[in-house]
Structure 1
Amino acid sequence: MDLTLSGVGTRLGGRWVVDGVDATPPPGRLTGLLGPNGAGKTTLLRLVAGLLTPERGAVLVGAGASAAPVAAMGRRERARRIALLEQESSSSVPLTVREVVALGRIPYRSLWGTDPDDEAVDRALHAADAAHLAGRAWSSLSGGERQRVHVARALAQEPELLLLDEPTNHLDVSAQLALLAFVRDLGTTTVAALHDLNLAAAFCEHVVVLSGGRLAAAGHPREVLRPALLREVYGVDADVLEHPRTGRPVIAFHEPAPRTAPAPVPAGEA
């Protein structure tokens, strides 16, 4: 799916939390949405998903003359074409894992509650490496297991556009790498908000960096994740190296300089 953000902005609590963002994530690829806490990443994902309506600009899906604003799509059509995996809540619903994943099929159910492709749930469970959890109670899962099930639920929607908000939360290193490699190789247009810049550099074909709700930079990680930008957006000093196997950027952060105590004021000069 083609996705275009054209001057997108919105306010929350009277403050512009997303302000004039222009971006064109490449179709069929994984785009990393980056920025420090409070940069507007989650709000932008909700705007793209159609859960919020932009006060300025537009989120467009589709190519050329067929491009249409997400805000103009009906809820059912939007739910079939766009899946949003939000940050995990602490809900303890009395459902099995398979029942949770089946919630992703709600947009396809008929008036009689039947799903024309019930096997989509099984495909999603297998794709997310969560089939072995299908009979487990949702409340019994670890944080990492829940995250896999959330991904399976999103995949059960069979979306053209996949939006992920911190999908690697609660996952160990091996699971983080496996999940992002899987998402990268889906061939689905995907935008994932990520905090780990090295994961973004390793797996994303494109990154969009926000700072204070505005677009700071966009492009391939090799072009964007440079020391000057990291200093400006994140306030950190870092060296950007080249991975010896992949050639991808690897960011080596420096410790902040120690704060020196002010020199004592000589007696009588206070």
Structure 2
Amino acid sequence: MELSIARAGARLGGRWVVDGVDATPPPGALTGLLGPNGAGKTTLLRLVAGLLEPHAGAVLVSDPAASDPRPAVPVHTLPRRERARQVALLEQASDAAVPLSVREVVALGRTPYRSVWGTDPDPGAVDRALEAATAAHLADRAWATLSGGERQRVHVARALAQEPALLLLDEPTNHLDVSAQLALLGFVRRLGVTTVAALHDLNLAAAYCEHVLVLSAGRLVAAGPPAEVLTPALVHDVYGVAAHVLTHPVTGRPVIAYGPAEDG
């Protein structure tokens, strides 16, 4: 899916939380959405998901690979069922206890495909999503008994069960240990689905993202490949910390070493 964020803005509480963001994440690639707390990452993801209507600009989506390709349209104008088949948003995980099994939670992702009688045209979709998210061993567990990391894997499986063309992830590595973080982002990158993931860890973004967008106070301050964007100057200006950008000895990707909060 092709995604174009065209001067998009959103006001919340009387102020611009997202202000004139103009970006085109590459199709089929993993884009990292970066920035400090309060930069507007979650609001921008909700605009891209069509859950919020922009107060300025537009968020446009199109699928040139579809059998009947149509011109790009504002994502928030898509009928809810159609939008749910095309766009999946994994929001920051809720700890609410629900009386469901893991399989039942993941099956919620199939809601846009169910008939009026509740039947799913692809009964194997839930099992495939569980397997892809390395959560198949949890299928029969009660949701309320899962750890934070296990719940995050199940949230990912539920999003994958929607079979989206556009995948949006809000801090997907929260609650995951290092091994699980690496496995999740490696898996998402290999999906070949247009993906935008809000991330706090700049080194994870540098290691796994083909493209990054950096927000500060609701505005886009940089966009492009991590090696070009994640410079010491940008890290200092956006995050207020000194940084040295090194080169990973195996992958050749950037590695960020932080200094004290005040640089001299």
TM-score, shorter chain, exceeding 0.5 = yes
Seen in structure 2, the aligned counterparts of structure 1 residues 231 and 258 have a Cα distance that, compared at 3 Å, is: closer
CA distance in 1, matches of 2:215, 2:84: 26
Name the SS for the 1:66 alignment partner. Answer: coil
CA distance in 1, matches of 2:107, 2:136: 13
1:256 CA displacement: 2.9
Seen in structure 2, the aligned counterparts of structure 1 residues 258 and 30 have a Cα distance that, compared at 3 Å, is: closer
* Aligned counterpart, 1:167: 172
CA distance in 2, matches of 1:151, 1:2: 22
* Aligned counterpart, 1:25: 25
1:52 CA displacement: 0.5
Runs of 4+ in structure 1 over 4 Å off? none
CA distance in 1, matches of 2:128, 2:24: 30
Q: 1:218 aligns with which of 209, 212, 223?
A: 223
CA distance in 1, matches of 2:125, 2:36: 36
The size of the alignment, in residue pairs, is 259
CA distance in 1, matches of 2:19, 2:224: 19
Given the alignment of the two structures, is residue 199 of structure 1 paired with residue 232 of structure 2, yes or no? no
Cα shift readout 1:211-248 (whole Å, capped 9, x = no counterpart): 00000000000000001111111111100000000000
Given the alignment of the two structures, is residue 46 of structure 1 paired with residue 46 of structure 2, yes or no? yes
* Aligned counterpart, 1:96: 101
CA distance in 2, matches of 1:48, 1:167: 17
1:82 CA displacement: 0.1
1:63 CA displacement: 5.9
Q: 1:183 aligns with which of 170, 185, 188?
A: 188
- Asked if the contact 2:169–2:198 (Cα under 8 Å) also holds between the matched residues in 1, the reply is yes
* Aligned counterpart, 1:143: 148
* Aligned counterpart, 1:74: 79
Over the matched positions of the two proteins, sequence identity in percent amounts to 76
Cα shift readout 1:161-196 (whole Å, capped 9, x = no counterpart): 000000000000000000000000000000000000
* Aligned counterpart, 1:240: 245
- Asked if the contact 2:212–2:223 (Cα under 8 Å) also holds between the matched residues in 1, the reply is yes
- Asked if the contact 2:84–2:112 (Cα under 8 Å) also holds between the matched residues in 1, the reply is yes
Cα shift readout 1:2-56 (whole Å, capped 9, x = no counterpart): 0000000010001100000001000000000000000000000000001100010
* Aligned counterpart, 1:228: 233
CA distance in 2, matches of 1:118, 1:17: 41
CA distance in 2, matches of 1:167, 1:205: 17
CA distance in 1, matches of 2:96, 2:180: 22
Whose Rg is larger? 1
1:139 CA displacement: 0.3
* Aligned counterpart, 1:265: none
Name the SS for the 1:84 alignment partner. Answer: strand
CA distance in 2, matches of 1:160, 1:258: 43
**One-letter identity of the residue aligned with 1:196:** D
1:92 CA displacement: 0.5
5+ residue gaps in structure 2?
65-69
- Asked if the contact 2:240–2:262 (Cα under 8 Å) also holds between the matched residues in 1, the reply is no
Q: Taking structure 1 as the reference length, what is the TM-score of the superposition?
A: 0.94
* Aligned counterpart, 1:59: 59
* Aligned counterpart, 2:110: 105
1:90 CA displacement: 1.5
CA distance in 2, matches of 1:187, 1:258: 40
CA distance in 2, matches of 1:72, 1:172: 38
